[in-house]
């Protein structure tokens, strides 16, 4: 079992400590760093290179959105999972636009949070399908096409996996549709992320939509 390196970004020390203790009860989760403000989060992300960052929005200094933008610009393979009290569509859209892998509310059960961390580490989406489809469609409709859209660096099998990922199917559902194992699907997704220089399926789908590779 892989050990997932997690970093917590939350300005309330008591919340950080409680979250860390609960996460580290799991054998596969290890909290490598904690930050109480955006500037420290950027520095610690560079120092510790976590796999997943739990990011709050309302933090001192650079806010969660600004910190996410800077971290993803430097380390695109780090998965940023937003954990906040704000459920406004505009916040969701803004974070997806700068590369967040998922968006959760703080009233989530700890078991669901733990699963969400594992899911984004594995390249899964942690947005509710209805929310994800609406927000990503909104972003894609308003985005200008990226340069070089005529050349697709993915092979036919990878593109087929990405098309199903854009329907917010899980790895198992994609595997069932294409008669692959979930492990094979994950291998394809890992290759897609590497070729597109992204860290999550949400980013990969949004990138492909902007490029015009997906309907």
Q: What's the pLDDT score for residue 145?
A: 54
Q: What's the pLDDT score for residue 21?
A: 96
Q: What's the pLDDT score for residue 157?
A: 94
If one counts every other C-beta atom within 10 angstroms of the C-beta of residue 48, the result is: 15
168 DSSP 8-state letter: T
Distance CA 37, CA 33 (A): 12
Distance CA 187, CA 206 (A): 20
Q: What's the pLDDT score for residue 122?
A: 84
**pLDDT per 10-residue tile (average), the chain, 215 residues:** 93 95 96 98 97 96 96 93 85 86 88 93 74 65 55 91 87 91 90 87 83 81
DSSP string covering 42-84: HHHHHHH--SEEEE-SS-SSS-HHHHHHHHHHH-TTSEEEEEE
What's the CATH number where 14 sits? 3.40.50.2300
Q: Which residues span the domain enclosing 108?
A: 4-121
The verdict on residue 180 lying in a domain is yes
What's the CATH number where 200 sits? 1.10.10.10
Distance CA 182, CA 193 (A): 16
Same structural domain, 24 and 56: yes
Same structural domain, 103 and 67: yes
């Amino acid at each position: 079992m892989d050990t997932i390196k997690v970093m917590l970004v939350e300005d309330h020390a008591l919340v950080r400590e409680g979250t860390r203790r609960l996460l580290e009860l799991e054998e596969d989760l290890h909290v490598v760093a904690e930050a109480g403000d955006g500037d420290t989060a950027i520095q610690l992300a560079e120092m510790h290179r976590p796999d997943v960052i739990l990011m709050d929005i309302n933090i001192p200094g650079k806010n969660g959105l600004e910190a996410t933008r800077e971290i993803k610009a430097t380390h695109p393979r780090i998965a940023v999972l937003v954990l906040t009290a704000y459920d406004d569509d505009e916040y969701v859209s803004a974070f997806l636009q700068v590369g967040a892998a998922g968006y959760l509310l703080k009233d989530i059960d700890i078991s669901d949070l733990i699963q969400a961390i594992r899911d984004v580490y594995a390249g899964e989406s942690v947005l509710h399908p209805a929310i994800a489809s609406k927000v990503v469609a909104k972003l894609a409709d308003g985005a200008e096409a990226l340069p070089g859209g005529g050349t697709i660096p993915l092979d036919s099998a990878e593109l087929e996996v990405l098309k199903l990922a854009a329907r917010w199917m899980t790895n198992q559902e994609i595997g069932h549709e294409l008669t692959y194992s979930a492990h094979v699907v994950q291998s394809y997704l890992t290759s897609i992320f590497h070729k597109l220089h992204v860290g999550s399926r949400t980013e990969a789908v949004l990138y492909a939509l902007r490029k015009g590779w997906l309907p």
